[in-house]
């Protein structure tokens, strides 16, 4: 599936709600190491609503000069 941060087809489901309710799923991207839960806010899981500064589309991840910062938590 498509990663919400790097927009490549390199993400996969890695966990589901253990009670079988389907309340949430967790996904992980093997390319940019981003992980997210399906029940997070659209500003986290919707590429169209994510802050473009934190996106990694068309970025050469192998040659990043600095670690990518984590956006501040929204409460």
Task: Map residue 27 onto helix, strand or coil.
Answer: strand
| Cα→Cα distances 53→19, 45, 65, 69, Å | 36, 15, 16, 10
- Residue nearer to Zn ion on the CB measure, 31 or 50: 31
**From candidates 25, 31, 37, 68, binder to Zn ion by CB under 5 A:** 31
- Residue nearer to Zn ion on the CB measure, 32 or 44: 32
DSSP 8-state secondary structure symbol assigned to residue 70: P
Specify whether the CB–CB gap between 69 and 59 falls below 8 A. Answer: no
- Residue nearer to Zn ion on the CB measure, 29 or 44: 29
> Which stretch, 6-14, 20-28, 43-51, 57-65, contacts Zn ion (CB under 5 A)?
6-14
Distance (Å, rounded) from C-alpha 21 to C-alpha 71? 29
Is 6 a binder of Zn ion (CB under 5 A)? yes
What residues line the site for Zn ion (CB under 5 A)?
3, 5-6, 29, 31-32, 34
């Amino acid at each position: 599936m498509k990663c919400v941060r790097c927009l490549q087809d390199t993400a996969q489901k890695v966990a589901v709600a253990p009670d079988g309710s389907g309340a949430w799923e967790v996904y992980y991207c093997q390319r940019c190491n981003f992980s997210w839960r399906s029940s997070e806010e659209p500003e986290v899981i919707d590429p169209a609503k994510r802050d473009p500064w934190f996106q990694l589309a068309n970025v050469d991840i192998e040659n990043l000069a600095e670690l990518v910062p984590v956006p501040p938590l929204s409460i």
